Structure 1
């Protein structure tokens, strides 16, 4: 059975759509239920993990117009921000990009992921600006001072990520372990949420794609398409959402043995548009393969 997203949307508008969570579908299958495409219209899926491919674009005023011409360096709570690509500094406004894996020059355990959560919590953040003339000044801002604050993912929500081991004879620092990785295959870590992952439930991206609404850290956003390094074997997605609506509980920083990383949460509705989508939704954890990688 096939149905279009337009048909599903009409059912939703009439209140006739059947919406289940991915966990509910898997529980029904485990109980022996024969779930068919006509039995469910939308399945909600979600994931939460360290997602290195995260960055924010922020724009906000820091000084009066013509106070300085260019910002050479900017730091937010010590985390370096990249100025541009469309500089407006002569207006006293900064356009900034912050990478989720950058960390404070003052505290190596504080990263952009921590900063993003502090902003979502409406905490006051110190901004230090170094101008092209060598002058510097500091000011304080909160998220509510920012007309524009978007969080982006370049590659998020991998279908099923990986397990990791250290095959060498020495301990190894890695973003995949909170401590140094034990040597000689003595330890393993995993990253992935199995049967409830959005891309696991639509691995061919038949229903998910450009323009699909989703929630990033609880804030409404949109999928922009496949992410960087996405492949048929290991698909992932790219998306963005407004930071003003984000729930701090769903995001933050995490310190690994190789430095701070960024935690991001996704929630996505998967329209059941075909039998093949439903078959993917019905797959349970024990059926999902997880590759094992050496760090």
Structure 2
């Protein structure tokens, strides 16, 4: 039974044995769980996929005379200013406001966050609530990453532990958060990278907890809390992996240290902006059970095929499909061969795990003990009480 302190000591001496989760799976297939558990200290996982429930906290610094901002736009994208005079929250999925007479830009909070991380200038336009201590009414300027105070990502929901496969059984194209879904089962889109995805390899969150240090956007981040829509009570297979959306995590990290390679604004046609984000989670090898969980293969994981043509919260499904089938490029739905495509970049997900491995091997990234566990008894509550106006 290894301890975090022992593993960190080996990391500091640059003698820790680190494998990416794909390397680990191959090694287990070759020599077995017991031998791998004795030899390996850390397993690195990674994903690069859209995570629209993300955003940035920004402190602009006070003006002279000072302003109490109550409306604000960054490159035309509204930022929320309702919790401090010059504090802002910029949501990744917030869209640029349309200007009359101008063509609507496919631009949103994710793009502004990417630009700031890349050191590019961003235009600020603000309106204030005039008070005795904040007499200024308006403010316009240009900011960069280096001319603002705090700039950190605080993401309420990242790292979905599994997700759905979207299809369209209707007769017209649909534009969704999974991208375009073609009519009459013309395509199928899945977003989770499967067996290399971080939380798939720690299905009961025995290792990952509040305070876990992670790779976030090319910098160092931390698990801050359970994520919104956290649903660990999802039905699970005997290998403990969920059959659909389950656990989620809230993440945070200093955006000034991040790399635009791993934080990219994106736009879904007729849906809106989002953020492609690279996240890597290290899994310390304490015992054989951890290795056995990480040895899970795509053929052992499933996701539900959901029909988006039915505009309801609970949509009908065409059953479950394995990630091995999804990654083959074709699945069979009611006798029809349907093309599949991932929203996550499998290539870049692998690169996240590889870069995190390199950090650990170089001794620049050590592991942390969680200060608390993520709750595993949360139910998912819908809004069934509503009034139609």
Taking structure 1 as the reference length, the TM-score comes to 0.89
Deviation at 1:61, TM superposition (A): 2.5
Query: CA shift at 1:108, angstroms?
Result: 4.0
- Residue 166 (structure 1) aligned with residue 168 (structure 2): yes
Matched with 2:70 is: 72
Partner of 1:221: 221
How far does residue 150 in structure 1 lie from its aligned partner after superposition?
A: 0.8
* Counterpart Cα distance in 2 of 1:204 and 1:273: 15
1:121 alignment partner in structure 2: 118
- RMSD value, Cα: 1.9
Identify the structure with the greater strand proportion: 1
Corresponding residue of 2:304: 291
Q: Which whole-Å deviations, capped at 9, do the CAs of 1:66-88 have from their partners, x for residues lacking one? A: 3x4x3221000001011131x23
**15-24 vs 73-82, which deviates more?**
15-24
Structure 1 position 289, deviation (Å): 1.2
- Of 249, 262, 271, 1:237 maps to 249
In the alignment, the residues of structure 2 paired with residue 277 and residue 216 of structure 1 have an alpha-carbon distance, to the nearest angstrom, of 23
For residues 158-200 of structure 1, give each alpha carbon's deviation from its aligned partner in whole angstroms, at most 9, with x where no partner exists. Answer: 22222111123332221111x3x21222221110112221111
Work out the CA distance in 2 between the residues paired with 1:27 and 1:80.
47
Cα contact 2:33–2:288 (8 A) shared by 1: no
Map of 1:82-231 to 2, 5 A cutoff?
82-85=80-83, 87-88=84-85, 94-106=86-98, 107-132=104-129, 135-177=137-179, 179=180, 181-231=181-231
- Looking at structure 1, the residues matched to 17 and 61 of structure 2 have their Cα atoms a distance apart, in angstroms, of 47
Residue aligning to 2:243: none
Question: Could you tell me which residue of structure 2 aligns to residue 273 of structure 1?
Answer: 286
Structure 1 residues 19 and 137 mapped into 2: Cα distance closer, same or farther (>3 Å)?
same
3-state DSSP of counterpart to 2:261: helix
Give me the whole-angstrom Cα distance separating, in 2, the residues matched to 1:173 and 1:219. Answer: 33
1: CA distance, partners of 2:76 / 2:124: 8
Structure 2 unaligned regions, length at least 5: 99-103, 131-135, 235-245, 309-389
Runs of 5+ consecutive residues of structure 1 not aligned to the other structure: 89-93
Query: How far is the alpha carbon of 1:105 from its aligned partner?
Result: 0.8
Give the one of 256, 259, 263 matched to 1:247: 259
Task: Write the distance in 2 (CA, Å) between the matches of 1:278 and 1:196.
Answer: 13
**Aligned partners of 2:62, 2:305: CA distance in 1, in Å?**
47
Q: Secondary structure at the match of 2:184?
A: coil
State how many pairs are aligned. 283
Determine the C-alpha separation between the residues in 2 that align with 1:166 and 1:149.
40
Q: Distance in 1 between matches of 2:116 and 2:62?
A: 16
Q: Are the aligned partners of 2:19 and 2:43 in contact in 1 as well (CA < 8 Å)? A: yes
* Between 282-291 and 121-130, the greater mean CA deviation after superposition: 282-291
How far the C-alpha of 1:207 sits from its partner, in A, is 0.9
**Cα distance in 1 for residues equivalent to 2:230 and 2:289:** 20
Alignment partner, residue 45 of structure 1: 45
2 CA distance for matches of 1:263 and 1:62?
31
Q: Does 1:54 align with 2:54?
A: yes
For the residue of structure 1 that corresponds to 2:176, the secondary structure is: coil
